[in-house]
A and B are shown apart, each in its own frame.
Chain A
Amino acid sequence: MTSDKSFFDFISNGLPGPELREDADNAILPARQLAFSRFRALGLPSVKTEEWRYTNIQRFLKDSFSLAQEEGTITAEQLKTVNTKIPQLDSYTAVLVNGRLQIALSKLPAEGKITISKLSDAANNTQLQLWFDKHPHLQQQPFAALNAALFADGLFIEAGQNASLDKPLHIIHIYTTAENAFIQPRHLLVLHKGATLEIVESSVGMNETAIAFVNSVTEIILEENAELWHYNLQSSEKNSRHIYHTSTVQKADSRYHHFNFTLPSAELTRNNLSVALTGSNTETNLHGLYLATDEQHVDNHTFVDHLVPNCNSNELYKGVLLDNSNGVFTGKIHVHQDAQKTNAFQQNNNLLMSEKASINSQPQLEIYADDVKCSHGFTVGRFSEESLFYLRSRGIGEEAAKTLLVNAFAFDITDQVHIPALQDFLSEKIRKYVSGAINN
């Protein structure tokens, strides 16, 4: 086995990974091999790679990582000690440990129109074969290619025609590893015609010293008239590093509402969020809130690809940067020649709350159709002294006043959240981190 091989050894030797050999009878093996040669061709990105110019990924790969992707087991007792709870959230749960679904620890909905299983159990599912690693935007992403080649397992969700759940599904990702590990979960969600789903994802690490580098890929297919509410809470432990790929295909009349909440304190969070609009009359809402502390590096890359006419997309990302944290935002709207009557908006606002914090932003428009309305906006600044003074003059302490202002700044995002328990949870987190940073 190659468990003692570090990531760089692996890359430089170019050996096929363990899964490539073990999955010999797997229906998607050819796709894996293709992905691996794609990764070899793309190579590891550096700061000279335009997509990675503000995130020096090689710095985060220097440690030696095992590629073995151990099973990692936890007991129900241990699960209780893990801080995964969102208070008051009434939901089904799916617990994944190192990307593998733990049915015994989960509370899945009764069997019906919605299938929730391990990806490895769905290897012969036609949907998996149809969509696996097919998203056009994943083709140029080296880490997505690496994931396709090496992933051990992940979640497969298929919602049948007009299916829906009575409450949200909370997907809890737990990462536990004894040694530094490069973990590659891979998920696929297919919502058939008219299906509706609300999912909340959160991740947590259980490692004290070992570094978990999680490189995950989630592919989402929304068939005609399907609707997905997708909340992603990203708050892992300090020494974890995450690259999230979320790639969605939207067919006609579908609605996709995505929320990224990046909270302390994983040292690296990189989001590659992309949506390909292949059917008309769709609605896409991308919301993001990143609140970073310490030395955190948060990088949001979003891409909305308008391929057909009459689609609406709306994007709002807001950042609060404390301590020595570093934010990156790159948002691209691409409107193809045929995509007339497109409405596409994008906005990125940032609050720098510390002398050492920094932000790099690239809001991009690439437009080839004329009958469109597109815009983007960017701002960075600090508190308005007037607002702070106003609150202080009414007897509100500095800490409370600042917390209030940050909460107000984040309100545009949190207000869009449709689950009250999640809204409260976020406000509480913001309060905690902002006052924590002020008191330091």
Chain B
Amino acid sequence: MRNSNEIIDDIANKEYEFGFTTDIEMDIAPVGLNEDTIRFISAKKQEPEWLLEWRLKGFAAFKKMKFPNWQHFKMPELDLQKLSYYAAPKEKKKLNSLDEVDPELLATFDKLGISLKEQKVLAGVAVDVVFDSVSVATTYRAKLEELGIIFCSFGEAVKHHPELVKKYLGTVVPHSDNIFAALNAAVFSDGSFVYIPKGVRSPMELSTYFRINAENTGQFERTLIIADESAYVSYLEGCTAPKRDENQLHAAVVELVALDHGEIKYSTVQNWYPGDKDGNGGIFNFVTKRGICKGNSSKISWTQVETGSAITWKYPSVILQGDNSEGEFYSVAVTRNKQIADTGTKIYHLGKNTRSRIISKGISAGHSDNTYRGLVQVGPRAANARNYTQCDSLLIGDRCGAHTFPYIESRNSTATVEHEATTSKIGEDQIFYLNQRGIETEKAVALIVNGYAKEVLNQLPMEFAVEAQKLLSITLEGSVG
């Protein structure tokens, strides 16, 4: 059996497996950020006037804002003027089947082991591929259309369903919410749009794979999902990115709206390029995700598995506005080398009898820093609100950090809020127990970590759980301190 230090070195030095660049011609906006850039993007996408105005409002808000300073890491120097704000694959032809997709693009997905073909075979997954910024292939649309479900790129939604976009855009994450959300509002490229009509239960998991591809291109996806009354949808988002030495900014916005008895389940597996072992390169993942349980008895559930990115900085939130509504947040965040994760959730209890549950598992190795930061707020009207929070941290090696910064604000005496957090390393006794039964240390750790994260992994839809487990084992198997 190898000794534990060798194993740690191995893991720490492991090259990013999915690092490669695809050569597809790009249509890139001029570098820099000003009103002209925004007009260029808007014109390029043939957007209506109201959307351009909304973008400009976002830009005006952005100009007034400064980068925050409360985060638990050193803010990297970001020169937003050096980024190009629009990149779209040149091929604009409408596609009906996968055969028409650029073969090189297909090859990329094959390398990732998540080929569209495989996805199509995996029962019931419709894939809306966002390759860089613009959707190039959408499957299963016909079947979804029969049920009245709209699942398309954001751009198409603006063209074909402007009334829905206009009604909900920016209602959950306003254009002036925070500096990155404002930037996104100004320059968002594309993203996904989902609308589930009244009483419809989406028969399959809706899924989008994001990939950052073009050099020097910030990614500004915008996703809007609406579950109308008694509707249900489960949405999957997964990411891998090619290796690159220059840092890339990803400032996406996701908005979820659940009306009476509506339910949205949003799952993320994030494995963007984390940078090399010295912390060079890697993606900055500064994403604003928020859902609102607008209607009574509605439910929003976030599940995330975060293994990539140089810096992951996001707080998927739920506003529990409707009475009896429910919010959930399940998270596994793994950091190693010099990765940083400052992530958690915010739950706002506004309506009566609202419930929320937060399960967060942080695993840090190498020289990384892993922070849980979360807010649970109970408003004066939220009678009988209930929250349970558990966040556990696992430390692997003595050069990493694990932090827990919860904020709890309760203004209602009938509310019950509980929070507990623990920090420890992998139990030597557990490893010993497994060793003793002939399981080598490397596998024992994988087993323990998988068990540790199981509560969260169990929340993932089956199609995703496989990939998530694979990611966890790639990142962590055998790391023991």
Q: Is the CB of A376 within 8 A of B413?
A: no
User: Chain A: how many interface residues by the 8 Å CB criterion?
Assistant: 35
Q: Which residue of chain B lies nearest to A377 when distances are taken between CB atoms in the complex?
A: B420
On chain B, the residues within 8 Å of A410 by CB distance are none
Q: Which residue of chain A lies nearest to B413 when distances are taken between CB atoms in the complex?
A: A352
Q: Is the CB of A362 within 8 A of B405?
A: yes
Closest chain A CB from B14 CB (angstroms): 20
A352–B380 Cα distance when bound, in Å, is 12
On chain B, the residues within 8 Å of A372 by CB distance are 395, 423-425
On chain B, the residues within 8 Å of A352 by CB distance are 410, 412-413, 415
On chain B, the residues within 8 Å of A368 by CB distance are 400-401
The answer to whether the Cβ of A113 comes within 8 Å of any Cβ in the partner chain is: no
Closest chain B CB from A440 CB (angstroms): 15
Name, among A371, A378, A382, the residue most crowded by chain B CB atoms within 10 Å (CB to CB): A378
CB neighbors of B among A357-414 (8 A): 357-382
On chain A, the residues within 8 Å of B412 by CB distance are 352, 355
A378–B404 Cα distance when bound, in Å, is 13
The answer to whether the Cβ of B393 comes within 8 Å of any Cβ in the partner chain is: yes
On chain A, the residues within 8 Å of B398 by CB distance are 337, 340, 369-371
A175–B97 Cα distance when bound, in Å, is 84
Per-position binary interface string of chain B over residues 407-433, scored 1 when its CB falls under 8 Å from any chain A CB and 0 otherwise: 111111111111111111100000000
The answer to whether the Cβ of A353 comes within 8 Å of any Cβ in the partner chain is: yes
A381–B416 Cα distance when bound, in Å, is 4
On chain B, the residues within 8 Å of A337 by CB distance are 398-399
Q: Which residue of chain B lies nearest to A327 when distances are taken between CB atoms in the complex?
A: B410
CB neighbors of B among A31-64 (8 A): 50, 54
The answer to whether the Cβ of A164 comes within 8 Å of any Cβ in the partner chain is: no
The answer to whether the Cβ of B242 comes within 8 Å of any Cβ in the partner chain is: no
Total cross-chain contacts (CB, 8 A): 113
Of B70, B407, B415, which contacts A380 at CB under 8 A?
A: B415
Q: Is the CB of B395 within 8 A of A50?
A: no
Q: Is the CB of A354 within 8 A of B413?
A: yes
CB neighbors of B among A224-276 (8 A): none
The answer to whether the Cβ of B56 comes within 8 Å of any Cβ in the partner chain is: no
A368-B401, A370-B398, A380-B415 are known contacts. Are A375 and B420 too (CB-CB below 8 A)? yes
Closest chain B CB from A344 CB (angstroms): 9
A359–B416 Cα distance when bound, in Å, is 12
The answer to whether the Cβ of B476 comes within 8 Å of any Cβ in the partner chain is: no
Per-position binary interface string of chain B over residues 370-408, scored 1 when its CB falls under 8 Å from any chain A CB and 0 otherwise: 000000000010000000000001011111111111111
Of B396, B405, B415, B423, which contacts A381 at CB under 8 A?
A: B415
Q: Which residue of chain A lies nearest to B426 when distances are taken between CB atoms in the complex?
A: A370
Closest chain B CB from A111 CB (angstroms): 49
A378–B407 Cα distance when bound, in Å, is 10
The answer to whether the Cβ of B89 comes within 8 Å of any Cβ in the partner chain is: no
Q: Is the CB of A363 within 8 A of B425?
A: no
Closest chain A CB from B185 CB (angstroms): 24
A337–B401 Cα distance when bound, in Å, is 9
Q: Besides the contacts A350-B410, A358-B410, A365-B423, what 10 more A-B pairs have beta carbons closer than 8 Å?
A: A360-B409, A360-B410, A361-B407, A366-B401, A367-B393, A368-B401, A372-B395, A373-B424, A376-B421, A380-B408
A360–B397 Cα distance when bound, in Å, is 34
The answer to whether the Cβ of B481 comes within 8 Å of any Cβ in the partner chain is: yes
A377–B395 Cα distance when bound, in Å, is 19
A360–B410 Cα distance when bound, in Å, is 6
On chain B, the residues within 8 Å of A340 by CB distance are 398
Q: Is the CB of A358 within 8 A of B409?
A: yes
A349–B397 Cα distance when bound, in Å, is 33
Closest chain A CB from B72 CB (angstroms): 8
15 contacts between A and B (CB under 8 A): A352-B412, A353-B413, A357-B413, A358-B410, A360-B410, A364-B405, A368-B400, A370-B397, A371-B425, A372-B423, A373-B422, A373-B424, A376-B420, A379-B417, A382-B414
Q: Which residue of chain B lies nearest to A329 when distances are taken between CB atoms in the complex?
A: B408
Closest chain B CB from A250 CB (angstroms): 22
On chain A, the residues within 8 Å of B395 by CB distance are 367, 369-370, 372
A358-B409, A370-B481 are known contacts. Are A376 and B404 too (CB-CB below 8 A)? yes
On chain B, the residues within 8 Å of A354 by CB distance are 413
Q: Is the CB of B407 within 8 A of A365?
A: no
A358-B409, A359-B410, A380-B410 are known contacts. Are A370 and B422 too (CB-CB below 8 A)? no
On chain B, the residues within 8 Å of A379 by CB distance are 416-419
Q: Which residue of chain A lies nearest to B408 when distances are taken between CB atoms in the complex?
A: A361
Q: Is the CB of A365 within 8 A of B402?
A: yes
A378–B376 Cα distance when bound, in Å, is 12
Closest chain A CB from B353 CB (angstroms): 15
Nearest first, the 9 A-B pairs at minimum CB distance are A370-B395, A352-B413, A378-B419, A381-B416, A365-B404, A375-B422, A361-B408, A377-B420, A374-B423
A375–B397 Cα distance when bound, in Å, is 19
Q: Which residue of chain B lies nearest to A54 when distances are taken between CB atoms in the complex?
A: B409
Q: Is the CB of B401 within 8 A of A367?
A: yes
On chain A, the residues within 8 Å of B411 by CB distance are 358
A75–B324 Cα distance when bound, in Å, is 63
On chain B, the residues within 8 Å of A377 by CB distance are 418-421
Q: Is the CB of B403 within 8 A of A367?
A: yes
Q: Is the CB of A360 within 8 A of B403?
A: no
Q: Is the CB of B414 within 8 A of A374?
A: no
A373–B402 Cα distance when bound, in Å, is 12
On chain B, the residues within 8 Å of A360 by CB distance are 407-410
On chain A, the residues within 8 Å of B402 by CB distance are 365, 367
Q: Which residue of chain B lies nearest to A361 when distances are taken between CB atoms in the complex?
A: B408
A352–B414 Cα distance when bound, in Å, is 8
Closest chain A CB from B125 CB (angstroms): 39
A367–B401 Cα distance when bound, in Å, is 5
Closest chain A CB from B388 CB (angstroms): 10
Q: Which residue of chain B lies nearest to A369 when distances are taken between CB atoms in the complex?
A: B398
A362-B407, A382-B413 are known contacts. Are A375 and B423 too (CB-CB below 8 A)? yes
A382–B414 Cα distance when bound, in Å, is 6
Per-position binary interface string of chain B over residues 319-337, scored 1 when its CB falls under 8 Å from any chain A CB and 0 otherwise: 0000000000000000000
A337–B481 Cα distance when bound, in Å, is 14
On chain B, the residues within 8 Å of A363 by CB distance are 404, 406, 419, 421
On chain A, the residues within 8 Å of B396 by CB distance are 370
Closest chain B CB from A52 CB (angstroms): 13
On chain A, the residues within 8 Å of B423 by CB distance are 365, 367, 372-375
Closest chain B CB from A54 CB (angstroms): 8
A361–B414 Cα distance when bound, in Å, is 17
Name, among B70, B409, B414, the residue most crowded by chain A CB atoms within 10 Å (CB to CB): B409
A367-B402, A370-B398 are known contacts. Are A378 and B425 too (CB-CB below 8 A)? no
On chain A, the residues within 8 Å of B400 by CB distance are 368, 370
A381–B419 Cα distance when bound, in Å, is 12
Q: Which residue of chain B lies nearest to A326 when distances are taken between CB atoms in the complex?
A: B411
A91–B373 Cα distance when bound, in Å, is 46
A357–B413 Cα distance when bound, in Å, is 7
Closest chain A CB from B397 CB (angstroms): 6
Q: Which residue of chain B lies nearest to A371 when distances are taken between CB atoms in the complex?
A: B425
Closest chain B CB from A375 CB (angstroms): 4
Closest chain B CB from A294 CB (angstroms): 16
Closest chain A CB from B420 CB (angstroms): 4
On chain A, the residues within 8 Å of B70 by CB distance are 50
